[in-house]
Structures are given as structure tokens and as C-alpha cells.
Amino acid sequence: MSTEKERELFEERLRKLESLKKSGGDPYPAETKRTHTVAQAIEKFGALEKTKKSVTLAGRIRGLRGHGALIFGTLEDASGRLQFLLKKDEIGEKDFEQFTSLFDLGDFLEVTGTLMQTQRGEKTLLASSSRMLAKSLRALPDQWHGLKDKELLLRKRYLDMLSNPETRELFVKKSIFWQTVRKFMIDEGFLEVWTPVLENIPGGADAEPFVTHHKALDRDFYLRISLELPLKRLLVGGYEKVFEIGRLFRNEGIDRDHLQEYDDMEFYWAFSDDEKGMELVEELYKQIVKAVAGGMETEYEGKKINWSEKWPRVDYFEAFEKETGVDLNTASDKELLKTAEKLKIEIPKHIGRGRLIDAIYKKTVRPKLIQPCFVVGHPLESSPLAKKNPKDQRRILRFQPVAGGAELGNGFAELNDPLDQKNRFEEQMKMKAAGDKEAHMMDADYVEALEYGMPPAVGYGMSERLFAFLMNRSIRETVIFPPMRSEKHDEK
């Protein structure tokens, strides 16, 4: 709800808007005559000041103070801020009085003039004329009480960006993050592709999908929960190195590391293996860290993370037994359930053995892994799409980078045996029938594709969770407009 003060300010600005219209001015013109950005004006200040060349800037008014026949202001565009100065005897009494009475903080202004330095040495644009580009009807938050409500900051992110330059910088860094990923993959010879968001069968992850209806085809589709199965079909089709950066949708809970809608990158590399995959991923992550953080050290929840060293391998079975005393080679489901109970882990009904083990692992092993490493040798039940370890059929050739106690990606040697894949899908369907909403569905078309032959390959997936980790923020904070409860819901 708006406060009385906010309503008064809104009404006052509406009156100024009408006054500007009545005077013949256009408060929302369709064009601007800007000649320089603020950064360009500052960069070329010496030459522009010397030649007295006319300069036109455009941006938002972020500061105003009057001193009799002088008005000092601060103009801001995306490149920076610069002071401007209006003198009554320079622009004329009429225009000076109009500016004084009709312009407010937050308005978008076009100002033309010459560059100079004040007696205090501050770079300034001495105005010869000014023009309204867009009247701001609402006062900016920092004009009345600032913006401190975290939920409101996320709901009205544009106000967060206006009030907090570090938020704007955050999304510049996020752009650098994805640019680095894309450039790295292309430089490594991978082909970027785009696969459908709407799927007949959701697959590639343990997640509950969103369902939508396609009117023209009169049928339901699922919003994709992974990029995996369409990309691996491309390996069947003859491509050897492919990747995609795309949006995924998972109908699950929100916490520091999870969101229902987020960006993800997956690559698939034919005639390669998990060892080569780990080498590639380690190099990719190190390039990302350097580009985004400006160095090889970051902080996460008070822990210093050094990315520069060679990442060690952590054996899943060995680490699990060390922290729990349970040998996964021999442990029964009953023993695992007792272990989870002792650890006070809430286990949903009908949970499969793989996710039961994973829940215990996340409670005991993962929090101890602070410096970057690869967890390898996961139990067979943890992924129905990964190839078995030929030396130990109870394990799969899977690897996960972990740092700061958080999982930061997932990769494995891809299962390309169609009979084995079909059997694993059938096991997943039994779990789904028993009530496990996140179990994989049978994808007969994918199995058929494998029957035509898919070469040995390694695949890997990472999401913007890595960026959130590097910024030491929740993933929701690093999404420009995250999904939120309705305002009506919050008012209840």
C-alpha cells in the first residue's frame, strides 16, 4: 500500500505533468539528440572543454540543488554520472523558472551545453538548454525512505537497480559469466544448438515438471526439466560436440540453491570420457572465476575458496563410509533408512534408494567439501542415464564439482546401451507408480534413438547456481525478475 506521503508526491507530479503539457511541452518525446554518453564526455573532457564544442547528454536526474540564480544537478546514464549547471542568465528566465517548477529528481532530462570545471575542479556541463525526456510520476525510493524490504526489492527489481548500483553491476557480471561459457565452448569446437522447451516426455533429471496445454495441437506438453535427451539424440544424428544454453523449468521448492525457472548449460562430447570431461570442466570453471571475480579466490558463506589448484578426486563410497560408518557396497535400504532417521533427515514416502543415499550424502559428506574437488564414483541408483563403471557394476562413471559444501554441476559417461537404458527407465516408472513424482518417465523415442547407435560420450550440465555461488548470494537474488508469490498472498 502507498503511504500518504507517496500519494501526495504522486499528485504533485501529475500537476507538474499537466502544466508542462499546457505550456506546449512534450513530457514524453519520441527522440533525443544525445551526442555523447556521460562516460564519453568525461573521457574526452579536455578536448571538448578546450574547443567549447556543444555537447548533448541524456539521462536521469539523480541530484538537484538550487542556489538563487543557479541550479546544480547530477545527470546519470548507464555509463556514469556528471554534474550539470543551469544559470538563469544563460538559459533565460522563462526556461529557468520552468525547470525550477516542473523538473524533479528521477525525471529523464536532455541537456545541451559546454563542458567546464567549477572552482572546486568538478567536471560540469554548463547548460544552454534543457528538455524533458520522460516525467517521473513516482518519487524514487531514496527520496522518501529508501528501499529496505528485501521482498519488495526482488518484486520491483527496477527499483533495486535504481537504488543500488551493486545490483546493476551484478547483472553485468552475470552477462560476463554466460559470455565466458559460450566463448569457451565455441573455442573448444562445440556447436551451439537450440532444442525445444516443450517436450512430449520430460527427462534428464529427477524433477517434477510443469504441464502446459498446446491449443493448436490440442494436447499437453511438459516444460523441459533438462537439456540432456534432445542433445544426446544429436549424437545419434552424427554431431560429435554440441552444447546448449537454455532455460529449464522444475516445479519444486525455492531455497538458496533452487528455483523453478533458471538458465542451464549442457554439453555432450562424443568419443570422449569422464576423465576428459573433468579436465574440460575444471578449465572452464577456472576461466569463469577469473572473468567474473577478477581473480582465483572467492568467498562463500564466510569460507575462502581457492580455485587455482588442481582439483582432487573424492571417492563417493569412501567419503560416505567415513562420515556415516555405512558401507554402500553392502548396506540395505533398511540400514540406510535408520541412518537417515538418526540424522533427522525427513524422507518422503516412496523415495528410491538413489535419492535416499543422496539425502544422507548431502547431510554428511558434502558440507565437509570446502575447496574445489570432483566427487566421483556415485552409486548406480543415483542416475538412470549414466554408464556403469566396468570395474565395479555398483558404481557409475559420474563426476560432480563441489566447493563450499555445494554441488556446482553434474557430469557422467553417457549410457548408450539401449537395453540397459530401457531397463533403468522401467525401474524409474515403478518408482513413479509408487508415488515418486520426481522419478524419470519412460521415453520410448529416446530408447529407439539409442537403438540406432550412439557413440561413447561424456555429458555435463551446469546452471546459474554457479554464478550465485561465486557472488555469495542466493540464486533468487541473481535472477533479474525471480518468480514471487502474489502481493495478495503476502498481504494475508
Q: How far apart are CA 217 and CA 215, in angstroms?
A: 5
pLDDT in tens, 42-79: 999 999 999 999 999 999 999 999 989 999 999 999 99
Report the pLDDT averaged over residues 269-276. 98
Indicate whether 182 and 72 sit together in one domain.
no
Indicate whether 141 and 184 sit together in one domain.
no
In-domain check, residue 151: no
Going by pLDDT thresholds of 50, 70 and 90, the confidence category of residue 148 is low
The grid cell for 84 is 550539470
Indicate whether 299 and 322 sit together in one domain.
yes
Q: Please check whether residue 166 is in contact with residue 153, taking contact to mean a CB–CB distance below 8 angstroms.
A: no
CATH number at residue 14: 2.40.50.140
Is residue 154's pLDDT more than 70?
yes
Q: Which of 275, 353, 382, 368 is nearest to 319 (CA)?
A: 368
For residue 98, the enclosing domain spans 4-146
Indicate whether 86 and 199 sit together in one domain.
no
Indicate whether 341 and 430 sit together in one domain.
yes
CB atoms within 10 A of CB 433: 10
Which residues pair with residue 76 across a beta bridge? 60, 81
Strand, helix or coil for residue 244: strand
Report the pLDDT averaged over residues 223-228. 94
CATH number at residue 375: 3.30.930.10
Going by pLDDT thresholds of 50, 70 and 90, the confidence category of residue 484 is confident
Q: Which of 156, 69, 143 is nearest to 104 (CA)?
A: 143
User: Phi, psi (5° rounding) for residue 474?
Assistant: -70, 155
Indicate whether 118 and 219 sit together in one domain.
no
Strands 410-413 and 406-407: unpaired
Please enumerate in sequence order all residues whose Cβ is within 8 A of that of 376, keeping only pairs 6 or more positions apart, or say none: 274, 313, 314, 315, 316, 398, 399, 400
In-domain check, residue 152: no
Q: Please check whether residue 98 is in contact with residue 23, taking contact to mean a CB–CB distance below 8 angstroms.
A: yes
